[in-house]
């Protein structure tokens, strides 16, 4: 089950970039600000958070797929199964065009490491896909992913809207020390996260160019 826990060469690249000072380009302020910009009066799962946020119109950047994508994930909005440990995370958001028009029927395929930083490469644990609703919205119930060598915490996703090229990218958590050591990290891909009960609630909108 525990197969290969790092991307080939990513640790070395991260180290090289850190030495070169590139890590500082991803200012901690940008990431940290993501924790404080949630609109007032919204709450986890209210469905209001995503509709209250403004659309920048800037396309979501692509990131490397990494070595652990598997086609054929099951259709499901919750990746939490019996025995899934870790901190619960509910991610809500939308898929939008650069004109900020919601995209219905966009396919989101998520995959991630478990709380200990391991991917399930023999099955489909912590993997699943879903379609956005008529308002372009999605909800993913999962856990906070663990770190593994060379990488900060992240959730992988492929977003495919009808008539548009597929976007492959990754989402990050705000304020994690590992963000500044990870050459793949980008502050534009940081989710807005806040505590919700015993877990966390997050939001992120994908904008397809």
Q: Give the CB-nearest residue to Fe ion.
A: 66
Give the nearest distance from C-beta 175 to Fe ion in angstroms. Answer: 19
Name the site residues for Fe ion (rule: CB under 5 A). 66
Q: Which residues contact 48 (CB under 8 A, 6 or more apart)?
A: 39, 41, 42
| Residue 12 or 135 with smaller CB distance to Fe ion | 12
Give the nearest distance from C-beta 184 to Fe ion in angstroms. Answer: 9
Distances (CA, A) of 150 to 9, 88, 120, 146: 8, 23, 18, 12
| Residue 66 or 199 with smaller CB distance to Fe ion | 66
Give the nearest distance from C-beta 145 to Fe ion in angstroms. Answer: 8
SS3 content of the chain, % helix, strand, coil (to 5): 15, 30, 55
Give the nearest distance from C-beta 107 to Fe ion in angstroms. Answer: 20
| Residue 103 or 144 with smaller CB distance to Fe ion | 144
| Residue 49 or 142 with smaller CB distance to Fe ion | 142
Identify the burial level of 134 via C-beta atoms within 10 angstroms of its C-beta, where 0-12 means exposed, 13-18 middle and 19 or more buried. Answer: exposed
CB 23 within 8 A of CB 186: no
């Amino acid at each position: 089950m525990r197969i290969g826990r790092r991307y080939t060469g990513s640790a070395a690249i991260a180290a090289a970039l850190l030495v070169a000072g590139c890590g500082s380009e991803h200012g901690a302020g940008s990431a940290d600000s993501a924790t404080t910009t949630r609109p007032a009066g919204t709450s986890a799962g209210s469905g209001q958070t995503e509709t209250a946020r403004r659309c920048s119109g800037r396309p979501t950047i692509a990131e490397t797929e990494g070595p652990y994508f598997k086609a054929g994930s099951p259709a499901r909005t919750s990746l939490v199964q019996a025995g899934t440990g870790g901190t619960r995370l509910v991610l809500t958001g939308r898929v939008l065009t650069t004109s900020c028009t919601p995209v219905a029927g966009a396919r989101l395929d998520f995959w991630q490491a478990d709380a200990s930083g391991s991917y399930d490469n023999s099955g489909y644990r912590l993997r699943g896909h879903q379609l956005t609703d008529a308002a372009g919205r999605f909800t993913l119930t999962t856990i906070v992913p663990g770190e593994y060598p060379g990488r900060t915490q992240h959730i992988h996703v492929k977003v495919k809207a009808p008539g548009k090229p597929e976007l492959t990218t990754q989402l990050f958590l705000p304020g994690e020390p590992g963000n500044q050591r990870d050459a793949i990290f980008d502050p534009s891909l940081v989710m807005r996260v806040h505590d919700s009960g015993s877990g966390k609630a997050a939001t992120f909108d994908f904008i397809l160019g």
